[in-house]
C-alpha cells in the first residue's frame, strides 16, 4: 500500500536540487552559456548571482550569442541597467540590477514585458527583493581556484528540462 505525503507545507526552496559545473576559464563559461541556451524559451527567467567578476556577464554573452548569432557585441549592462537582443523566436532582456536603488525601479525598465514575452537574464536579482517571478532558474557563479563553478538551483520543472545538460 502506498502512502501519500502532504508537501504543501514545504517551501519551494526545499524542493530544489543543485547541479554543479566546473568552468576552467572565460571560454568555458561562454561555452556553458551557449550549451544552456538550447534549453531556454520565451517566458524563462534566469537569475545570475555571484561576486563581482565571477562570470555572470561572460555566461550571458555565450548564451546571447548562441541564440542571436548576428549579435557581435554583448556589453555588460552595468551602466545602462538593460540591454536587449533579438533572437529568432523571442527577445532577450539582459538586466544588471547592481546599481538599482529600490526594487520598484525595476518596473521602469520594462521588467514585466521581459518576464512574460522574452527570455530574461537578471544579474544581481537580490536587488528585486520579493518582486522576482516564480519558477526562475537560479545560477550562482563562484570562484573556484583559477576557474569558476556554476551552481544551478533547480525547481522540479527545471530539473526535468535540464536533466541532460
Residue 52: give its domain's CATH number. 3.40.50.300
Kindly provide the residue ranges of all beta strands, DSSP E only, lying in 11-160, ordered along the sequence. 17-23, 45-49, 82-86, 91-96, 119-123, 137-144, 147-154
Per the prediction, the chain carries an average pLDDT of: 86
Q: Which domain holds residue 91?
A: 26-161
Q: Is residue 58 part of a domain?
A: yes
82 lies in some domain: yes
Q: Sorting pLDDT into bands at 50, 70 and 90, what band is 108?
A: confident
Alpha-carbon distance 17 to 8, whole Å? 18
For range 28-43, the mean pLDDT: 96
16 inside domain: no
pTM value is 0.86
Within a domain: 117: yes
pLDDT at residue 4 greater than cutoff 60: no
Domain count, the chain: 1
> Within a domain: residue 96?
yes
Residue 52 forms part of a structural domain: yes
Amino acid at each position: 500500500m502506498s502512502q501519500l505525503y502532504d508537501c504543501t507545507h514545504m517551501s519551494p526552496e526545499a524542493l530544489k536540487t543543485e547541479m554543479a559545473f566546473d568552468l576552467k576559464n572565460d571560454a568555458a563559461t561562454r561555452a556553458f552559456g551557449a550549451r544552456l541556451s538550447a534549453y531556454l524559451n520565451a517566458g524563462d527567467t534566469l537569475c545570475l548571482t555571484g561576486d563581482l567578476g565571477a562570470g555572470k556577464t561572460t555566461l550571458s554573452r555565450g548564451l546571447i550569442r548562441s541564440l542571436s548569432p548576428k549579435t557581435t557585441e554583448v556589453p555588460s549592462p552595468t551602466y545602462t541597467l538593460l540591454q536587449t537582443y533579438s533572437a529568432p523566436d523571442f527577445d532577450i532582456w539582459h538586466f544588471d540590477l547592481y546599481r538599482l536603488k529600490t526594487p520598484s525601479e525595476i518596473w521602469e525598465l520594462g521588467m514585466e514585458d521581459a518576464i512574460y514575452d522574452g527570455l530574461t537574464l537578471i544579474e544581481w536579482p537580490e536587488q528585486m527583493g520579493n518582486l522576482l517571478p516564480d519558477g526562475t532558474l537560479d545560477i550562482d557563479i563562484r570562484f573556484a581556484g583559477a576557474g569558476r563553478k556554476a551552481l544551478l538551483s533547480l525547481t522540479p520543472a527545471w530539473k526535468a528540462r535540464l536533466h541532460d545538460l
